[in-house]
Amino acid sequence: MKNIDSDTLIHDIILDQKLFPVDLSLAAYDFSISTLKKREQFTDVVISDFIEKNYTLKKIFYQFNHPTNDVFQHIVNQIMNILEKDIVVNPIDEILTDISIPIYPSTYRNLNLQFKNNYKYSTILGFLDLNSVVEEFYKYYEKFDREILEQQILKKKPFLWERIIDKW
């Protein structure tokens, strides 16, 4: 990148409350829930209802496909009901917390989320702040051909491309 501090640029972009357009956040949520509901048509245990009821109230996923114990508790309760067992299973320590990422501020705002959004990244190496994560991504991506990266950004995230093209 030229004439700017690239870490600051990426940091500012990530924290921008308008990074992702509202319609994009809502469409992603709608697509995810509708896809999940289609898969649930053939199961006895479902979580889409739990997600719809709770996603604005508390963080229920640490990252993609890594649910919190609240989701597991919902699943266990359904299984116990199906088995007609009157058993209360108390939550155990969280089990999928090794990797947890904060929610983009724009997504948080767009979906009107109400729970506290922790801006620390939990990794298998411990907690990292945003600047450390950006630095690690730079180290990783500097191995790739710049032209290919530009094409991927333009194709997959055109709204980002408009913000960085003159600084790239």
Q: What pLDDT sits at residue 47?
A: 97
Query: How do residues 111-132 score in pLDDT, each as one tens digit?
Result: 999 999 888 888 877 888 888 8
- Enumerate the domain spans of the chain: 6-164
Ranked by mean pLDDT, the top range of 12-16, 50-54, 67-71 is: 50-54
Ranked by mean pLDDT, the top range of 29-33, 95-99, 125-129 is: 29-33
Q: What pLDDT sits at residue 143?
A: 86
Q: Which two tokens stand for residue 157?
A: 């995230």
Q: CB of 86 within 8 A of CB of 95?
A: no
Query: How do residues 73-96 score in pLDDT, each as one tens digit?
Result: 999 999 999 999 888 777 677 777
pTM: 0.78
Please report, for residues 140, 152, 153, the alpha-carbon distance to residue 149 in angstroms, rounded to integers and kept in the order given: 12, 5, 6
Give Dmax over CA atoms of the chain in angstroms: 66
